Amino acid sequence: MKKLLLTLAAAGVASAVVASRRRQRAYVAPLVPDEWRTDPDAYFDGDAINTRNAGSDLDVDDDLDEVDSARQALGLLRTVDEQEIEAAEEALERTDLETPVAEYAEMLLSHHSENLAAAQALRLESFTAPEVSDFAERRAERLHALADIGDDDEFAGAYLQAMVEGHEQALAMLDRLIPDAVDEDARDFLASSRRSMSQHLQRGRELLEQRRSLQ
């Protein structure tokens, strides 16, 4: 019962955050189709994408063995959530952004806001490992560079590419950390977050492929 109340509270906080962010934007993107919220599998085939062998040079530091891997994974998730929210907001400020990409950005904004609020409501302790800090710094530079792209069509392609590569790297790191997580609540939350992120990755790949087929 306690976990249910915390989850409901997190959803309420996330909805308020998203609503507040939307009011601050001059452009309101199309709403995410209802099917994406009620039945993700209607748009995403499969429960998860195997990223264990995805290209990533981010190795878990052996000196951090004494730190529960769940805390490290939660630190990674918090970083990803915060950066994806910022990137989605940048995308949704583009008035000429094509509808599928705008809907994708709206989905990422909603999902990552909800995930961030849920972790806070569950009071799960996180730890930002050095490799996560390095990942966050490199990714921040990549995402901030998107703001300098003036053409919305060019931005759409660069944004999708950044989302795909970022999710690939983050999922590869999660797949190395989740199996060793000890706390049951943390493991459940991490598994749920991973499923959502794998769906984001698959949809991003689909949109990139669609754009390439039209060029």
Q: Which of the residue ranges 1-15, 51-65, 185-199 would you say has the lowest mean pLDDT?
A: 51-65
Quick one: average pLDDT of 136-165? 93
What DSSP designation does 191 have? H
Q: Which of the residue ranges 28-42, 79-93, 118-132, 178-192 would you say has the lowest mean pLDDT?
A: 28-42
Arithmetic mean of pLDDT over the chain: 76
CATH number for the domain whose boundaries are 2-27+64-214 = 1.20.1260
Q: How far apart are CA 179 and CA 73, in angstroms?
A: 10
The predicted-structure confidence for 25-83, as pLDDT tens digits, reads as follows 433 333 333 443 344 343 333 333 333 333 333 343 444 444 578 888 999 999 999 99
- Is the model's pLDDT at 148 over the cut of 70? yes
Q: Which of the residue ranges 5-19, 146-160, 191-205 would you say has the lowest mean pLDDT?
A: 5-19
Kindly calculate the radius of gyration of the chain based on its CA atoms and give it in whole angstroms: 17
Q: How far apart are CA 178 and CA 171, in angstroms?
A: 10
27 compared with 10, residue with greater pLDDT: 10
| Domain residue ranges of the chain, discontinuous segments joined by + | 2-27+64-214
- pTM value? 0.69
Q: How far apart are CA 16 and CA 34, in angstroms?
A: 19
Choose among 146, 84, 80, 134: nearest CA to 110: 84
User: Collapsing DSSP states into helix, strand and coil, what is residue 81?
Assistant: helix
